Amino acid sequence: MKKRVSDSVVEYIRNKVETGEWPAGQKLPSEPGLAAQLGVGRSTVREAIQELVYAGYVNRIHGVGSFICEKTINYGMNEYMSLTALIQQNGYTANIRHIKLEITRPRKKHMELLGISELEPVYEVQRVFTADDKPIVFELAVYPCNLLPDVHAEDFEASSFKMLEKRGINIRHSNGWVSPKAADSEIAKLLEIPQNSPLLLMESVLCDQNGRAVAYVRDYFTETFKFPLHRIRNSSSGDSLD
């Protein structure tokens, strides 16, 4: 994937923060200033800063300036990213264990969400992600078999994104929802927690560059896990009640 100029600007700013040159609360140079310094257009600088605002990294104040947030979030829930990276961000060492792959007939839900018929078999892939060797996430992923001819359990020992990319599939976004859920006996065993422990269930349908649904994923997060969240108030959500 070719890097955009605005991505370089994002990187430039993140780097300034990471090296400590721009501490939390630091005022960024003005947009025209940054543009001149870096030899790019102001719109490009704005695009980069906008991205950082969305990510909860930078705070903009009209007529005053842009500032590095006090608590910079490196990755938020609204960015699609690696589970292992997310675990690392929580301050742990990440690993994958218990990889189980089987080919089955699709359930009704899978057929509906993935847009396939009952005649198309699917892969069901189970994985457990660990943080400092403690189970922290149980994942169940469902892929239509015809999308991934010839995969094996070993293909899931690392990035499933990368595995998909090798087969010409690029995950671009996901739709789904999160909800609280109690651990059933099977999941409790895999995550080494008592039955009925509270979990965060994240269900997602992954879509590729063509907007085609390519996977249905259920992630069960344990209580150890905190999902960073940055929310922006939408100007068009006018008449809020609370």
Partner DNA sequence: GGAAATTTGTACGTATGTATG
Partner DNA sequence: TCATACATACGTACAAATTTC
Q: Which lies closer to DNA via its Cβ, residue 196 or residue 209? A: 209
List, in order, residues 6 or more apart from 15 with CB less than 8 Å away.
none
CB 176, CB 218: distance < 8 Å: no
Q: Which does 182 bind (CB under 5 to 8 A by kind): DNA, a copy of itself, none?
A: a copy of itself
Q: Which of 16, 54, 99, 140 binds a copy of itself (CB under 8 A)?
A: 54
Alpha helices by DSSP H, 121-173: 160-166
Q: Which of 42, 107, 134, 230 binds DNA (CB under 7 A)?
A: 42
The single-letter code of the amino acid at 90 is N
For a copy of itself, the binding residue among 153, 181, 188, 218 (CB under 8 A) is 181
CB of 166 to DNA, least distance (A): 17
Q: Determine the length of the chain.
A: 242
Judged by CB under 7 A, the residue of 63, 91, 149, 194 near DNA is: 63
The residue within the footprint of a copy of itself, chosen from 39, 91, 149, 180 (CB under 8 A), is 180
Q: Applying CB under 8 A, which of residues 19, 21, 71, 117 lies at the interface with a copy of itself?
A: 71
C-alpha 28/C-alpha 124 separation (Å) is 48
Q: Which residue of 97, 100, 162, 189 would you call a contact of a copy of itself, by CB under 8 A?
A: 162
Query: Quick check: 204 and 216 in contact, CB under 8 A?
Result: yes
**Window 192 to 211, contacts with a copy of itself (CB under 8 A):** 196-200, 202, 204, 207, 209-211
Residue 25's SS3 state is coil
Which contiguous run of DSSP H or E holds residue 198?
Answer: strand 198-208
Complex with DNA: residue 63 or 91, whichever CB lies closer:
63
Place of tokens 């939408």: 234
Tell which positions 188-217 bind DNA, by CB under 7 A: 209-210
Which residues have C-beta within 8 Å of that of residue 164, sequence separation ≥ 6? 148, 170, 171, 208, 214
For residue 44, the partner it binds in a copy of itself, DNA, none, with Cβ less than 5 to 8 A by kind, is DNA
Query: Which residues on neighbouring strands pair with residue 66, listed in sequence order?
Result: 60
Please report, as ranges, the residues that interact with DNA according to CB under 7 A: 2, 4-6, 28, 30-33, 35, 39-44, 46-47, 60-66, 209-210
